A and B are shown apart, each in its own frame.
Chain A
């Protein structure tokens, strides 16, 4: 009995730490003026989310989260941020403009809407938690569910990834002669137009 309550307290401690670091790193992602630091803060966010997935018996999803996000997506982000160079932006400076106020109001309204929608459900169908077996969330179980019950979703996912990969390659390698009339639109005051590169 004491052991059970100690385990329960331990789960709560881990959960509170993960939830706090998840939300704190989320705030950090949108607050850093340097995009590089934002991407690094997102790694902390993903790691704490993986801890919460482990608490939810989703071992395979937690491992996939770390592999796919922290291993592939964030590395791609960091490469692109390093490629485009530093562009500083101070998100919360210069006083609250009307756009910032409207954005905060819209995000707050969205949050309130979600909380109300979930809260209305929480008294009813969310009150009773169902039991799951020990195999729930393990790679073997995921593989059986994925390849037997949800085979179509699996195949569609592969098609989506293929299309995205082709699109990324086309977007990244598409070259056209830089129109001199376009150069002055945006970045002329930030950096000099480079001499035309040969790709």
Chain B
């Protein structure tokens, strides 16, 4: 068990729960931060914060304090593979 802000850039994890006020939680869930979603830390802003996260094919930036309230678990290798596949250019060719 860990929190989203602890993910290193390039690492992925699976979302467990959001420890935030109801309105913020609702908003984040509508942007894809739902339980069981695979979230990848993509890059940090030049100043080191906020961090850009990849979820559901979108890129969303959150500040550290917000990401620290999102509880994560370690993703199984299967869960990660599905996600990484999505970014391989070869697969684009293959599906055409």
Q: Does A associate with B in a complex?
A: no
